[in-house]
Amino acid sequence: MSTRTAQPGVLLTDHRIEVPLDHDAPGAERLTLFVREAVAPDRESDELPYLLYLQGGPGSPGPRPQGADGWLKRALRDYRVLLLDQRGTGRSTPVNRQTLPRRGTPQEQAAYLAHFRADSIVRDAESVRRTLLGPSGNWSLLGQSFGGFCTLTYLSQAPQHLRECFVTGGLPGLRATAEDVYRAAYPRVRAKNERHYARYPQDAAVARRIAEHLVKEDVALPDGRRLTVEGFQSLGLLLGSGSGSHQLHWLLEDPWVPGADGEELADAFLAAVQERLSFAANPLYAALHEAIYAQRSVGGEPTAWAAQRVRAEFPEFDPAAERLLFTGEMIYPWMFDTDPVLKPLRQAAYLLAERTDWPDLYDPQRLAANRVPVYAAVYHDDMYVDRDDSLATAEAVGGVRTWITNEWEHDGLRVSGGEVLDRLIRMSREGL
């Protein structure tokens, strides 16, 4: 039975749909998908086209509206919007440290997790489409970040059911390995550090002092884990968003308190650090992050903790370097040794890192022949998704029109008040 909720400017209807864990074994185990439908109150009875929003991630649920604002408000002018909690997230059948041990051995857990990549998400979406729109129903896609990766997989698997696609910061390198991704990423992250320290030069001394303190002292976060220099460096994930440099600066503004034995890191600072470093809300992000780049026909090697291996090529990120550099969207094996919510996933994560038979996610030939219109925002200074890879993909895929901008960072869709989506919709309507 569907649940309906009214918020300012939007009516919400909740749907639950069962899908197979393995779409190639439809009679075996099944999962529940949660989908929230949003429509403008004054258009509830209209025959509106559907727009499926594919969330960034991997491992993050769909957004929780608080009324019609931002990009959703813009979308509701033209569409009935579907917000999908991708498998394993949100109110869909969850995957986390509490549920995964029920799968059995680490090998069985890893085999289970292998069903939570973009290829399965796209087949889930097709089940949703058939259920809500009927077998012949078509819809549009909006893919943010990893959701754009899923969009390219959708165009590889089932383009016949797509009217148009909008992608924001999410055109992946079709043949890029995990090593390729991180080899291109570290210089971008270094540039973000340089811009941050140019904006807030006093932060360099603060960060170095914190790092030296963490080497000398055993500092625990509120959840009990030790805060290491490498963990502290992971706060650089903030630098990829529009306001992230400012957030990092305010976090570093006053980290110390006078303790019984001298200055120590304040509880408020440590709590704020833990909030940003914990994977409690999205453990699949850590477990599958490198696997989203794995394809058996590309390289044929395991991902094998590519971010950690490639990091050695960039000694400026060494924790002992004179100027401390923060890292970015990298997952390191030590995270599964320190984060309490990741420790139970450790053995399965190591098995996934050694896997070599990942199915391909993209079909270059089918994408080259694509006729579905794709309108993509490519952020010139995107820290998370390589601009050059995105532009190469735009050239390789038929029907792609790009808007290259440095006005917004990777989170432009969320923070632009609807401007980014409006630009892409206008491109589609005006034939730009």
Residues with active-site annotation = 145, 357, 410
Phi/psi region, residue 59 (left: phi>0; alpha: psi -120 to 50; beta: rest), is left
Give the SS3 label for residue 205: helix
Residues whose CB falls within 8 Å of the CB of residue 25, separated by 6 or more in sequence, listed in order: none
Give the SS3 label for residue 28: coil
Give dist(CA 103, CA 115) in Å, integer: 13
Give dist(CA 410, CA 170) in Å, integer: 9
Q: Which stretches within 134-240 are classed as H helix?
A: 146-157, 178-199, 202-216, 229-233
Pairing of the two strands 256-259 and 139-144 = unpaired
Angle, nearest 10°, between helix axes 178-199 and 202-216? 120
The 3-class SS string of 276-325 reads HHCCCCCHHHHHHCHHHHCCCCCCCCCCCCHHHHHHCCCHHHCCCCCCCC
- Radius of gyration over every alpha carbon of the chain, rounded to an integer in angstroms: 22
